[in-house]
C-alpha cells in the first residue's frame, strides 16, 4: 500500500499519468480522437455560421441568397429571419451580418497565452480588443468573421464563441425552468422555497454578502456552526461554501436578480465542515449530519447539500459517510451530493467509475455537471468533461475478492460549468483562497467586498441547484417523502443526446416539470397502498416543459440500482419504493443473473416494496458482478464487461486512486483543480457591472 501511495504522489507532482490509468489506454486507435478533440475551438453555432459562409462563398452567393435557394429546395434553414443585433455599440454575429464586417466575439485564452502575441495577431487580422479581464481568461474582440478560423488556429486561443444576446433575467433560474413556477401557487404566494431549511455542509458562508440579504437587509442564513475546530462562523476563507449557498438560495435583491438562487427565500443553515483550506474530515461531516437530524424540526431542515466528497473505497453498505447520509434520509431529509470531478484523467481521457462518496449512497441524490455553453436554451447543453461517471466502485471483499456495488450513478445532471455566484471576502481582504490560487475566477465586476462575484465550475455547483429545486417541491407539497422527491426529479429530467446513463443519469434537471409534478401529488400519498392513484387529477399533465422557447421532453424514467424504470405509472400510482425508510434502488434485484422486480427489501424485512403490478417497464440488463449490457436505451455508447473493464472509446475505470484515509475535500480540490475549477473551455455567463 505504501508503494502505491508514493507512486500516486510522484505522478501528481510531475503531471504524469496516475497509476493504472492513462498509459494503458492511450492506444494508437485513440490518437485520432484525441487530435480531433484538441482541434475543436469553435462554438457549435459559430462553426455552423462559418460553414454557411463557406457554402455561400463557394456558390458565389450572399447568405441571404443561399437561404432563399435552400427554401426553394426544401432544405433545412433557420425558421426565423436573422436580425441584426447591436449591443453596447458592438454588432453580434449572425447571418444578417456580412462575414467581412467587424462583429463581436468572445475569446477564451489558454492559461499560458502570451498577451503580446495574441494581441498582435488580432490586430494583424483587422480586429481589436474591446474588453479583457481575468475572469476565466476571457476577452471580447471585434473582428471580421472571415478571419475567425485563422485566429482559432493560434495556440494561444482555447475557444471562440459568438457574442450572443443575453436576456435580462437570471441565468440559472431561467435555464432550469425555475422562473416558470414562481407563480404556481397563485398571486399571493411565490414559489421560492419559503420556510424550507437547506443545510449547507461546506467551507462556510460569508453571511454579510448581499447575495443573502433581503430588501430589509435581513440575511436568509439563519444559523451557523463550525464543525472543523477552527471556530469560525459567518466567514468563508476558502471561498467554496459561499458560492454554493448562493446558487441554492441567493436572493433576488442582489445584482437586480441576475444571480438569484433556485430557492431564494429558503432558510440556509451554514454548517462549516471544511476548513480554511477546503479540507475536512469524515467525522466532522457525520457530526453535522447528525446535528441536522436532531434539529430537523427546530429549523424545518428538509434538504441537505454536500458539495464535497472523497474517493470511494468502501461499499455504501459500510462507508461511514454513506451510513450517516442514509440516517438523514430515513429521518425524512432529502440529501443531495456532488458526483465528483473525476470524469477524465490527466490527458483528458474519459474515465468511468469515479463517483465520490457519499454520492455512491443509493438514497442520496447524486448530481453531475452539465455545461449550458452560456445560453438559456437547453438543446445545446452537454455533460462536462470532468463530471464523474458511474458505475459506483465502492466494494466489499468476499473470499479475498472485491465485489463492487456497480450502481448506476449519477442520478441526474444540472448546470455546473463556469457559474457566477457570491465571492466571499477571505481572511485578509485580498480575496478567498480560491481567488488567490486562481485569480481568473474573479469576475472583477465590483471592488465592493460584499458585492463580489466569482466563477466556479464542478459538480459542487450543480448539487445546490438540485437542492434548491427540492426545496421548491417541498414548499408546494410539504408531505413528499425523500424517495418520491428523488423519483420526481429523475422522472421530469430531460435526457441529453449523445450521453449515456452512466454520464447523465436520468438527464438534465427540469425544475418546471419537477415542481408542477410535485404539486399534483396527493398530500396523503404516503398512506396509500401500492398501486393506488396518487395524483389529484384524472390524468398526468402534458409531460413537456417550455424552457427558453424550446419544448423539453421529460424522460419519464427512474433509476434503481442497475436499471431504468419508465412509464406513466411511476407518477400516477403510488409505488412502495417511495415510502419512508425505503429506497428506489431496492425496487429491482438480480436473481440468478436475471434483473427482476423485488417483492421485499433486500434487507429481509417483510414490508412490501415493489413496482405496482405490470404497469412499469424495466429496461437494461445486468448480469452477475458488474456486467452491464446496453440495449441502446440505457448505455447508448458503450458496454461494460466484467469487473472493472469498460469497452467504449478506450475509457478507463478510476480504481487505484489512492488518497489518505478519512480525508474529505471540496470538489474543487482533487488532482488537477485547474482542470475543472476554471471549467471546460466553452462559453460562459457574462458578469454584470455591480456597484
C-alpha triplet 267, 268, 271: angle, nearest 5°? 145
**Residue 256 pLDDT greater than 70, yes or no:** yes
Give the mean pLDDT of 48-67: 76
CB 179 within 8 A of CB 169: yes
DSSP string spanning 209-255? SGGGB-TTS-BSEEEEEE-SSS---S--SSSHHHHHHHHHH--TTSG
The string of pLDDT tens digits covering residues 270-304 is 999 988 988 887 778 888 999 999 999 999 999 99
Mean residue pLDDT across the chain: 79
pTM: 0.76
C-alpha cell at 152: 482559432
Query: How do beta strands 639-641 and 645-647 pair?
Result: antiparallel
**248 is written with which cell numbers?**
441554492
pLDDT at 628 over 80: no
Q: What is the pLDDT of residues 165-209, one digit of tens each?
A: 443 234 688 889 898 999 999 888 999 999 999 999 999 999 999
pLDDT at residue 259, rounded to an integer: 92
Q: Distance (Å, rounded) from C-alpha 669 to C-alpha 661?
A: 16
Range scoring the smallest mean pLDDT among 80-84, 417-421, 656-660: 656-660
Residues 379-394: tens digit of each pLDDT: 999 999 999 999 898 8
Mean pLDDT, to the nearest integer, of 321-340? 94
Residue with C-alpha cell 443509493?
362
* pLDDT at residue 131 in the model: 65
Domains in the chain with CATH codes: 44-162 (3.30.70.80), 171-523 (3.40.50.200)
Is 373 strand, coil or helix? coil
Tens of pLDDT, residue by residue over 296-323, are: 999 999 999 999 988 787 789 888 788 8
Under a CB-based contact definition with an 8 Å cutoff, are residues 261 and 250 in contact? yes
Amino acid at each position: 500500500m505504501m508503494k502505491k501511495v508514493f507512486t500516486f504522489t510522484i505522478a501528481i507532482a510531475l503531471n504524469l499519468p496516475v497509476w493504472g490509468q492513462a498509459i494503458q489506454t492511450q492506444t494508437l486507435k485513440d490518437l485520432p480522437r484525441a487530435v480531433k478533440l484538441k482541434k475543436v475551438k469553435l462554438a457549435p453555432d459559430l462553426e455552423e455560421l462559418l460553414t454557411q459562409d463557406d457554402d455561400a462563398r463557394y456558390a458565389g452567393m450572399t447568405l441571404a441568397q443561399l437561404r432563399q435557394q435552400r427554401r426553394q429546395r426544401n432544405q433545412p434553414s433557420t425558421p426565423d429571419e436573422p436580425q441584426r443585433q447591436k449591443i453596447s455599440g458592438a454588432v453580434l454575429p449572425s447571418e444578417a451580418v456580412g462575414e467581412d464586417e467587424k462583429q463581436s466575439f468572445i475569446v477564451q485564452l489558454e492559461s499560458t497565452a502570451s498577451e503580446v502575441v495574441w494581441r498582435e495577431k488580432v490586430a494583424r487580422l483587422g480586429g481589436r480588443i474591446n474588453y479583457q479581464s481575468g475572469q476565466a481568461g476571457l476577452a471580447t474582440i471585434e473582428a471580421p468573421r472571415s478571419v475567425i478560423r485563422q485566429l482559432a488556429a493560434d495556440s494561444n486561443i482555447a475557444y471562440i464563441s459568438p457574442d450572443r444576446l443575453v436576456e435580462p433575467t437570471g441565468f440559472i433560474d431561467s435555464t432550469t425552468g425555475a422562473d416558470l413556477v414562481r407563480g404556481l401557487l397563485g398571486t399571493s404566494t411565490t414559489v421560492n422555497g419559503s420556510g424550507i431549511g437547506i443545510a449547507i455542509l461546506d467551507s462556510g458562508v460569508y453571511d454579510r454578502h448581499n447575495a443573502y440579504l433581503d430588501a430589509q437587509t435581513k440575511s436568509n442564513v439563519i444559523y451557523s456552526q463550525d464543525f472543523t475546530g477552527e471556530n469560525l462562523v459567518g466567514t468563508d476563507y476558502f471561498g467554496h461554501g459561499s458560492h454554493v449557498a448562493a446558487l441554492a438560495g441567493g436572493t433576488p435583491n442582489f445584482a437586480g436578480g441576475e444571480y438569484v438562487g433556485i430557492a431564494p427565500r429558503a432558510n440556509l443553515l451554514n454548517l462549516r465542515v471544511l476548513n480554511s483550506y477546503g479540507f475536512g474530515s469524515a467525522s466532522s461531516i457525520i457530526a453535522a449530519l447528525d446535528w441536522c437530524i436532531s434539529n430537523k424540526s427546530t429549523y424545518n431542515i428538509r434538504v441537505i447539500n454536500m458539495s464535497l466528497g472523497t474517493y470511494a473505497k468502501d461499499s455504501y453498505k459500510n462507508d461511514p459517510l454513506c451510513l450517516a447520509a442514509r440516517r438523514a434520509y430515513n429521518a425524512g431529509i432529502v440529501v443531495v451530493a456532488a458526483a465528483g470531478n473525476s470524469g477524465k484523467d490527466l490527458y483528458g481521457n474519459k474515465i468511468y467509475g469515479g463517483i465520490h462518496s457519499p454520492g455512491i449512497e443509493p438514497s442520496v441524490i447524486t448530481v453531475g455537471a452539465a455545461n449550458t455553453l452560456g445560453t438559456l436554451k437547453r438543446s445545446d447543453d452537454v455533460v462536462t468533461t470532468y463530471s464523474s461517471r458511474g458505475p459506483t466502485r465502492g466494494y466489499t471483499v468476499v473470499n479475498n475478492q472485491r465485489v463492487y456495488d456497480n450502481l448506476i450513478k449519477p442520478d441526474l445532471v444540472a448546470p455546473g460549468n463556469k457559474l457566477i455566484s457570491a465571492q466571499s471576502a477571505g481572511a485578509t481582504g485580498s480575496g478567498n483562497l480560491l481567488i488567490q490560487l486562481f485569480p481568473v475566477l474573479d469576475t472583477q465586476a465590483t471592488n465592493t467586498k460584499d458585492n463580489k462575484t466569482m466563477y466556479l465550475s464542478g459538480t459542487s455547483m450543480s448539487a445546490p441547484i438540485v437542492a434548491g429545486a427540492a426545496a421548491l417541491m417541498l414548499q408546494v407539497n410539504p408531505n413528499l417523502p425523500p424517495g418520491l422527491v428523488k423519483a420526481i426529479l429523475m422522472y421530469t429530467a430531460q435526457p441529453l443526446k449523445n450521453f449515456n446513463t452512466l454520464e447523465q443519469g436520468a438527464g438534465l434537471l427540469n425544475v418546471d416539470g419537477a415542481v408542477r409534478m410535485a404539486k399534483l401529488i396527493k398530500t396523503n400519498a404516503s398512506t396509500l397502498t401500492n398501486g393506488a392513484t396518487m395524483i389529484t387529477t384524472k390524468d398526468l399533465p402534458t409531460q413537456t416543459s417550455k424552457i427558453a422557447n424550446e419544448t423539453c421532453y421529460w424522460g419519464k424514467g427512474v433509476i434503481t440500482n442497475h436499471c431504468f424504470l419508465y412509464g406513466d405509472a411511476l407518477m400516477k400510482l403510488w409505488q412502495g419504493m417511495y415510502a419512508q425508510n425505503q429506497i428506489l434502488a431496492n425496487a429491482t434485484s438480480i436473481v440468478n443473473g436475471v434483473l427482476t422486480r423485488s417483492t421485499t427489501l433486500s434487507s429481509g424485512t417483510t414490508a412490501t416494496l415493489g413496482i405496482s403490478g405490470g404497469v412499469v417497464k424495466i429496461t437494461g440488463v445486468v448480469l452477475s458482478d458488474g456486467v452491464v449490457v446496453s440495449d441502446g436505451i440505457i448505455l447508448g455508447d458503450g458496454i461494460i464487461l466484467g469487473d472493472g473493464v469498460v469497452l467504449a472509446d478506450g475509457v478507463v475505470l478510476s480504481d487505484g486512486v489512492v488518497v489518505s484515509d478519512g480525508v474529505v475535500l471540496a470538489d474543487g480540490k482533487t488532482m488537477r483543480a485547474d482542470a475543472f475549477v476554471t471549467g471546460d473551455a466553452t462559453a460562459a455567463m457574462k458578469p454584470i457591472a455591480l456597484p
